[in-house]
Structure 1
Amino acid sequence: MYPEEMVMPMKAALTDRGFQDLNTPEKVKEALQKSGTTLLIINSVCGCAAGSARPSVLLSIEGEGKKPNYLTTTFAGFDVEAVKTAREYLVPFPPSSPSIALFKDGELVHFLERHHIEGNSAEIIAENLKQAYEEYC
């Protein structure tokens, strides 16, 4: 498990911008079963989370266009039980962090695994997410 002093600023990069911190299994279940659309980012300490995943979700919700109703995050290697619960909603995909998921009425409709994030710019990932918002939100 990562130390709190390392993780909290990385969490704040999203929670300070309106993402709900899903730090318990109960919060995950409640959030991912809501009606409407929910964006979930499984955050991480890795470089691709810092350079691409976090910036991309923030870019994806800027400006005009459709957006998810709810913005949520949980942290791999820190919110251990919450992430385990979140991953139950991501089957059949294997565990991946960082990763970004879009749910509609509790069903997974769009998913970006680490290999979709790693090596891609935040702008490219944000565009992918915006296309998913146009389709599902």
Structure 2
Amino acid sequence: MDNPTYNPKEVLFMREELTAVGFTEVFTIEEVDKYIANKKDETVLVAVNSVCGCSAGCARPGVGAALQNDKIPDHSITLLAGQEKTAINHIRDTYLSDYNPSSPNMILFKNGKILKFFERIHIQELTAETLADQLVDTFNEHCTKTGPSVPKEEYDKLSFTITCGSKISRV
């Protein structure tokens, strides 16, 4: 188990905002590879969640809205930067070695290959709605699973918290 950077109780809501829209949390290298490296012609959306403001203001609400689309990835997994350090470093070293480390980010994989990568530098310039639109375009191009990830009635009950990560206690 990694030593978390942030108080696990204080970041729980950040995790729940993604699991509520259908993401599966992964914590280990083995879990990461089970999804990303599979050769089953399935799409896998990886969301590297973050405590930063662009994750709160754009990334989590944007991907939540995008997963209400008619076409969605076969699997959606998430890890929280600063918490699942070993697993995130494995993703960066194994699958994203051509890119600078950043969070938040969203990557759509198929058969271990990147189809689309939304880096922090791009995400922080977008609104949640614009990110959702760009993700939907990506899903429509590459995905075949029928959406939404959660029923509309459940999604409509959700709210996404916008908070500055500097207010989260470090451990």
TM-score, normalised relative to structure 1: 0.94
Quote the residue 1:40 is aligned against. Answer: 46
Once residues 131 and 90 of structure 1 are traced to their aligned partners in structure 2, the CA distance between those partners, rounded to angstroms, is 22
Q: Matches of residues 104-115 of structure 1 in structure 2 within 5 Å?
A: 104-115=110-121
Aligned residue identity for 2:115: V
Question: How has the CA–CA distance of structure 1 residues 63 and 136 changed in structure 2, closer, same or farther, with 3 Å as cutoff?
Answer: closer
Q: Which residue, out of 11, 22, 25, partners 1:21? A: 25
1:73 and 2:78 correspond: yes
Once residues 39 and 85 of structure 1 are traced to their aligned partners in structure 2, the CA distance between those partners, rounded to angstroms, is 16
Once residues 35 and 12 of structure 2 are traced to their aligned partners in structure 1, the CA distance between those partners, rounded to angstroms, is 21
Once residues 125 and 115 of structure 2 are traced to their aligned partners in structure 1, the CA distance between those partners, rounded to angstroms, is 23
Q: CA RMSD in A?
A: 1.1
Instruction: Assess if the C-alpha contact under 8 Å between 1:41 and 1:98 holds in 2.
Output: yes
Once residues 91 and 133 of structure 1 are traced to their aligned partners in structure 2, the CA distance between those partners, rounded to angstroms, is 24
1:83 and 2:88 correspond: yes
TM-score, normalised relative to structure 2: 0.76
The Cα of 1:94 is off from its aligned counterpart by 1.0
Over 2 Å off, 4+ runs = none
The DSSP-based 3-state class of the residue aligned with 1:42 is strand
Instruction: Assess if the C-alpha contact under 8 Å between 2:47 and 2:79 holds in 1.
Output: yes
Aligned residue identity for 1:50: A
Instruction: Assess if the C-alpha contact under 8 Å between 2:69 and 2:136 holds in 1.
Output: no
Identity across the alignment (%): 38
The count of residues paired between Structure 1 and Structure 2 equals 136
**Cα shift readout 1:93-118 (whole Å, capped 9, x = no counterpart):** 11010000000122111001001110
1:8 and 2:12 correspond: yes
Q: Which has the higher helix share?
A: 1
The Cα of 1:123 is off from its aligned counterpart by 0.8
Instruction: Assess if the C-alpha contact under 8 Å between 1:7 and 1:78 holds in 2.
Output: no
